Structure 1
Amino acid sequence: MKMHLLLLLVLLHLEQAQGSLHRVPLTRYPSLRKKLQEPDQLSEFCKSLDLEMTQQNNSCLMALAVKEPLTNYLDVEYFGNISIGSPPQNFTVCFDTGSPDFWVPSAFCKSRACKKHAKFCPSQSNTHTRLEGKTFSIQYGTGSCSGIIGVDRVSAFSCQVGGLTVPNQPFGEALKEPGKVFAHVQFDGIMGLSYPSLAEDGMTPVFDNMITQKLVDQPIFSIYMSSTNQKGGKGSELIFGGYDHSHFTGRLNWVPVSKQEYWQIKVDKIRVGRSVMLCSKGCQAIVDTGTSSITGPSDDIRQLQKAIRAVRRKNGDYTVRCNKLKVMPDVTIVIKGVSYTLKPTAYTLRHFRSQGKKFCRTGFEEFDISDDEPLWILGNVFIRQFYSVFDRGNNRVGLARAVH
């Protein structure tokens, strides 16, 4: 009898976690940084922004930060497909937990960046309306993205028939984009998934509307990023309405959101091997799908890079010899008493050759976001290893070892 009851409770828990899951496939593309580095154009690109990447400050990375200011679109790799309007107009977007804003290029945009991407034409949608008098302007390091605010039905392309459609969704129709960056990226626009407190006036985030309109069984979404060995990130997905147990092992460690702007949580400490300790008194971190690397305060990141014996190159990247990965230390991030350990193969990224030697770029970068409260960003290097669940109903983030 007890066994039957236990089994019933387990099945009930699984059903609650699953609910009706709306799966949006994510595709992994080479980041803008990688595209520019292949022919070694990154330094020239940064110079075109009137910036210098010095030994003291990775200023190119900082200049590309969004006002929020978490998203570094130089490194974004995972994108998904959506449609807007009736009949649908298709777009590739970055699903960004580090931003609340949602925008795509307008058919009336004349910026260089808009010319290279899909554009929304309001006259071709019979469900489109405009929020009269409402405009938006998002300040990026290289200029502003601005335009008008429209309202229409928005659908996420799903593995399931029919997908998920949000009626009456406000979104930005960009009339101007900063061309230096957005002209080169692989995505057309941004769909923000952070808290609404930072959203532009009149632009209620998409997930908030899903919750309000009861389009999801649970106020939860989750992100799974497949291993780097999977071509195009095959199997990666964003789930609205719950999470998938098959994507992780063990139990989710639920961590309270410490500040309801980003998906910000408290980190207990960060260890490098057995000797180097960072964030020893605790620190704040954001789980951010819009950043590829793990970033942190400059002094801490330099100490970490030194501990793993990484060398800084002229373009600002830290690299290690790929044949040394087996003897390099693990990096462990302790969150709510649970250790999240990254092996060297997990925290190093793509490799390249120089003078006959094979080098790997580390997945750690300097990024001084705030003088008041230094923040770490747990980007895709972390999320790829640890399945991430974002629970708006209880204002918490769930983390568990991802299955690859």
Structure 2
Amino acid sequence: MRFSQPFNALLTSVVLTVYVGDVLAIPTSYRSDSWPTMNLTRRAAPTFSVPITTIANDAAFHVQMIIGKNTRPFLLHLDSASPDLWVYSATCPQRGTHNGVSAAPPNTFKTLPNVVLDVAYQDGDKAEGAGGLDVLLLAGQRAATPALEFGVAEEVTGEFPTLDEDGVLGLGPPVRVDLTTLLSTPANKGEHLNPPFMQNLLAARVIPAKVTSWKLPRTKDAGSVGSLAFGAPDPTHFVPSTLIALKAAKTSAENPKPWGISVAAASVDGVAAISKPFQGFVDFGTTNIVMSTTEADALNGRIKGAIKVSLGVWHIPCNTQTKLALAIGGKVWPVDSRDLAFQPVAGSAGLCESNILGEADEAVGQWILGGTFLKNVYTILDEGNSQVGLAQPR
């Protein structure tokens, strides 16, 4: 999911983040040969990992969560580009058979009418409503969190109601804006935005740092289960000697995409296809590798048997052996050939939709690195240090 939200709402979010962050800032130190380690002045919160599951063709990645006394797990769509956890309200008109939260006894859930949920994604989906307060337990987590605020959707538009998910777990940072603009823009008195989920975990001392580490599953690998670690990387899921740390580009209201890293080049079957450096934005809520139509046409055109459908949209052989690779941080990161083919094309035997996707609103040199690429790396997103780590998964 490519996240956006109204500018005034972003300003309110920053007010909360700056205030809470100042209170709970934790000093860090760096070692040149490893990921930054924590020097804590108080007892560190524990780290924990939860399983990641996927659906056919790896269109989306999920975790499950128990909320309060509702024993039915909520299936949550994972997203690293947005900061909000939200789920359906039991009274949401678009809920259908989705799980939803309710304050009816014996539930411990409480509605927070002064909290504003207002999120919009670049694909047009929206969720609006209020806030809620309850204890949360992710599948695989040993103990529930203290009662935390989260978003409760009372109105949902777009494709969300047709999907399996009961909400979104956004693990991204809030957008940063210029302080002068912030101070000159008033917020609605008595109201505040749904707080960023990672900030909530840190403030409640559920995690020692705003770090998530990801190993994605792959449908085509039988029995594959991914892992999402909170608070620190999980060394059992990557090869430490391959780890690199990259500074993430700063976000702003004008450029809200988080986790931007520099990509030196892209090659197809060992031959340079894009030789000029470009920005790649890590986004676990996006299925494909998304780029401008010009770049998508250039890459897909090098795949044997590929057929152009329209600008930036191609069909490729489902069994393609083409090797795409990205040069990042002085290393070459190959993409498994199986990941280039998405779902089969109806009525076209042997052809699949290409996971190299061009969109008219994407600028040249601004790629979104979704699951197609991210299944091939172990990824560490460190909000506190504005860093992205990549390593060979295992």
TM range (shorter): 0.7 to 0.9
Q: C-alpha separation between the residues in 1 aligned to 2:103 and 2:72?
A: 10
From 278, 284, 290, the equivalent of 1:289 is 284
Aligned counterpart, 1:116: 97
Q: C-alpha separation between the residues in 2 aligned to 1:106 and 1:222?
A: 29
**DSSP-derived class of the 2:151 partner:** strand
Aligned counterpart, 2:367: 376
- What is the TM-score normalised by the length of structure 1? 0.73
C-alpha displacement of 1:369? 4.6
Aligned counterpart, 2:154: 175
From 236, 246, 266, the equivalent of 2:262 is 266
From 314, 317, 330, the equivalent of 1:321 is 317
Q: C-alpha separation between the residues in 2 aligned to 1:150 and 1:265?
A: 35
Tell me whether 1:230 sits opposite 2:221 in the alignment.
yes
C-alpha displacement of 1:287? 1.0
C-alpha displacement of 1:100? 1.2
Aligned counterpart, 1:153: 135
Q: C-alpha separation between the residues in 1 aligned to 2:332 and 2:137?
A: 38
Q: C-alpha separation between the residues in 1 aligned to 2:207 and 2:339?
A: 33
From 42, 51, 54, the equivalent of 1:28 is 54
Counterpart residue type for residue 190 of structure 1: V
CA distance 1:379–1:101, change in 2 (3 Å):
same
Q: C-alpha separation between the residues in 2 aligned to 1:360 and 1:292?
A: 14
Aligned counterpart, 2:14: none
Tell me whether 1:307 sits opposite 2:302 in the alignment.
yes
**DSSP-derived class of the 1:308 partner:** coil
Aligned counterpart, 1:134: 115
C-alpha displacement of 1:107? 1.2
**DSSP-derived class of the 1:365 partner:** strand
Q: C-alpha separation between the residues in 2 aligned to 1:194 and 1:216?
A: 15
Q: C-alpha separation between the residues in 1 aligned to 2:352 and 2:78?
A: 27
Q: C-alpha separation between the residues in 2 aligned to 1:176 and 1:198?
A: 27
Counterpart residue type for residue 362 of structure 1: S
Tell me whether 1:240 sits opposite 2:266 in the alignment.
no
Aligned counterpart, 1:335: 328
CA distance 1:274–1:402, change in 2 (3 Å):
same
Q: How many percent identity over aligned positions? A: 25
From 178, 186, 193, the equivalent of 2:164 is 186
Q: C-alpha separation between the residues in 1 aligned to 2:388 and 2:211?
A: 10
Q: C-alpha separation between the residues in 2 aligned to 1:169 and 1:198?
A: 23
Contact 1:368 1:374 in 2 (8 A): no
Q: Structure 2: 5+ residue runs without aligned partners?
A: 1-33, 39-44, 178-190
Alpha-carbon displacement from aligned partner over 1:203-232 (angstroms, at most 9, x marks no partner): 22221122222222443211111333334x
C-alpha displacement of 1:197? 2.5
Alignment root-mean-square deviation, CA: 3.2
Contact 2:48 2:231 in 1 (8 A): yes
Q: Structure 1: 5+ residue runs without aligned partners?
A: 1-12, 32-74
Alpha-carbon displacement from aligned partner over 1:13-72 (angstroms, at most 9, x marks no partner): 79x69x9441211221136xxxxxxxxxxxxxxxxxxxxxxxxxxxxxxxxxxxxxxxxx
Aligned counterpart, 2:10: none
Q: C-alpha separation between the residues in 2 aligned to 1:117 and 1:24?
A: 22
C-alpha displacement of 1:298? 1.2
Q: Which range is displaced more, 302-311 or 85-94?
A: 85-94
Give the length in aligned residue pairs: 336
Aligned counterpart, 1:362: 354
- What is the TM-score normalised by the length of structure 2? 0.75
Contact 1:29 1:186 in 2 (8 A): no
**DSSP-derived class of the 2:351 partner:** strand
Aligned counterpart, 1:395: 386
CA distance 1:88–1:284, change in 2 (3 Å):
same
Q: C-alpha separation between the residues in 2 aligned to 1:284 and 1:363?
A: 18
CA distance 1:369–1:265, change in 2 (3 Å):
farther
Contact 2:243 2:389 in 1 (8 A): yes
Q: C-alpha separation between the residues in 1 aligned to 2:50 and 2:243?
A: 21
